[in-house]
Amino acid sequence: MTVSPPVAQRDAIAEPGVGRVRWRDLWSRVGFVIPALVVVVALLWAVFPGLFTAQSPTETAALALQPPSAEHWFGTDATGRDLYARVVYGSSQSIIGALIAVLVGLVVGTAIGLAAGAIRGAVDETLMRIVDVLLAIPALLLSLAVVILLGFGTTSAAVAVGVTSIAVFARLARSRVVSVRVTDFVEAAYGSGGTFFGVLWRHILPNSLTPVIALAALQFGSAILQISTLGFLGYGAPPPTPEWGLLIAEGRNYVATAWWLTVLPGLVVVLVVLSTNRLSQALRGGDAA
């Protein structure tokens, strides 16, 4: 008996904590709308920074270490550069880097999990042992090792962070593929003459992606934190290029006299990360209120 696609989709995702996302309900709730707006503004900062500030992120704008004011919303740094402009322009380094990191983890990890869950046998055992090794290495240590091999810079840091998330995506994708491949609609697809790769591409993969995409939203916030950490340690974008982690590092020597140099960029990072985590909960089918 052939199962219709809507029923197949429903059967494939019917598990606790993972459900269909009701976008109309989500957009009517403040708990979803506010985080979504925060993420949208951060993305706009990254793509169109000139729309949000007329100040230069690298040129002196006023006297050094001026507190926040109507003219300089976040104050100025130790060389007189506008801190708000540096935060806005720095978002392109942190956010685009996080997107690259998530893309690396999502594509490579999902491919590994798909191959392991669908082929099984020796392939599954080999790939999962490699994944276990990756999980056994602390994420920061692994990212530092990769970025040292690739060289310093935002792109290298993004790839390094992406490598640390491959194992997480692989394990989740494999678990979903294993559960989906034994469902009735997959058996019906094989019984109707479907080939291995055809069924894998048309039925198993699409019905396994819902929790993987939700994990990608969660990993986006984690990637921002990790890239900011690498930037704070000096492995990200070199000065004077603005980057959120670098901005916090530059202000750590002035905490007692110019608190805004570390507090305000840090608050931006925290706000964006918490907002992405909230959106991830909504995508996973949790309460968005």
**Mean pLDDT, range 181-188, rounded to an integer:** 78
The residue that leads in pLDDT, 27 or 229, is 229
Query: Is this prediction's pTM over 0.75?
Result: yes
Q: Give the CATH class of 22-53+79-283.
A: mainly alpha
Q: How buried is 83 (Cβ within 10 angstroms: 0-12 exposed, 13-18 middle, 19+ buried)?
A: buried
**Mean pLDDT, range 81-93, rounded to an integer:** 93
Q: What is the pLDDT of residue 30?
A: 57
Which parts of 73-198 are beta strand (E)? none
Q: Which amino acid is at 167?
A: A
Q: How far is CA 129 from the centre of its chain?
A: 25
**Mean pLDDT, range 60-66, rounded to an integer:** 86
**Over 90: is that where the pLDDT of 86 sits?**
yes
**Direct distance between the N- and C-terminal alpha carbons of the chain, in angstroms, rounded to an integer:** 41
53 φ/ψ angles, rounded to the nearest 5 degrees: -155, 145
| Tens-digit pLDDT profile for residues 5-49 | 444 444 433 444 444 445 455 555 656 788 889 999 999 999 999
Percentage of the chain modeled with pLDDT above 90: 46
Query: Considering only 115-129, 135-149, 195-209, which range has the smallest mean pLDDT?
Result: 195-209
Kindly indicate the confidence band of residue 120, based on its pLDDT and cuts at 50, 70 and 90. Answer: confident
The structural domains of the chain, with segments of one domain joined by +, span 22-53+79-283
Q: What is the pLDDT of residue 7?
A: 40
| 3 state SS of 229 | helix
CB 63 within 8 A of CB 83: no
Q: What is the pLDDT of residue 27?
A: 52
Question: Average pLDDT, whole number, for the chain?
Answer: 84
CA distance linking residue 122 with residue 120, whole number of Å:
7
Q: Which amino acid is at 55?
A: Q
Q: What is the pLDDT of residue 41?
A: 94
